Chains A and B, each alone.
Chain A
Amino acid sequence: MGKFRKSGSKEVPQVSTSSLPDIVYMLIFFFMITTTMRDVELKVKTSMPKASEIQKLEHKALVCSIYIGPPRDTKLGTESRIQLDDAFARPDDIADWVLKERESRNEADRPLLTTALKVHKETRMGVVTDVKQELRKVGAFRINYTTLKGSALEN
Chain B
Amino acid sequence: MAKKVPEINSSSQADIAFLLLCFFLMTTSMDVDYGITRRLPPPVEQNDEDVKVKERNVMNVLVNKNDRLLVNGRPSDISLLKDQAKEFMTPRPNDPTAPEVDFKDVELLGSVPMSKGVISLQNDRGTSYAMYISVQNELARAFNELKEEMAWQRLHKHLADLNADQEKAINEAVPVRVSEAEPVEIIKQ
Contact = CB atoms under 8 A, between A and B. Distances in A.
Q: Do A and B bind each other?
A: yes
Interface of A: 17-18, 20-21, 24-25, 27-28, 31-32, 34-38, 49-57, 63, 114, 116, 119-126, 128-129, 132-133, 135-137, 139-149, 152-153, 155
Contacts of B11: 17
B132 A125 contact: yes
B8 interface: no
Most buried by B among A20, A37, A55, A125: A125
A50 to B, nearest CB: 8
B34 A56 contact: yes
Contact of B17 (A25, A56, A125): A25
B82 to A, nearest CB: 9
B39 interface: yes
A57 B34 contact: yes
B11 to A, nearest CB: 8
Contacts of A57: 32-35
Interface string B122-136: 011111111111101
Nearest to A122: B128
A123 B129 contact: yes
27 contacts: A20-B17, A31-B28, A32-B28, A38-B27, A50-B133, A53-B140, A53-B144, A119-B129, A121-B129, A123-B129, A124-B127, A125-B123, A129-B183, A133-B183, A136-B43, A141-B42, A143-B38, A144-B35, A145-B38, A145-B133, A146-B34, A146-B35, A149-B34, A152-B133, A152-B134, A152-B137, A155-B133
Interface residues of B, number: 49
B36 interface: yes
Given A28-B20, A52-B141, A129-B125, A147 B133 contact: yes
A53 B138 CA distance: 8
Interface of B: 10-11, 13-14, 16-18, 20-21, 24-25, 27-30, 32-43, 65, 78-79, 123-134, 136-138, 140-141, 144, 183
Contacts of A125: 123-129, 132
What are the 3 closest A-B residue pairs judged by CB atoms, nearest first? A126-B125, A35-B28, A152-B137
Given A136-B41, A145-B133, 20 more contacts: A28-B21, A31-B24, A32-B28, A36-B29, A49-B130, A52-B137, A53-B140, A55-B36, A57-B35, A119-B129, A123-B129, A124-B127, A125-B124, A125-B127, A126-B125, A128-B129, A144-B35, A145-B38, A147-B137, A153-B134
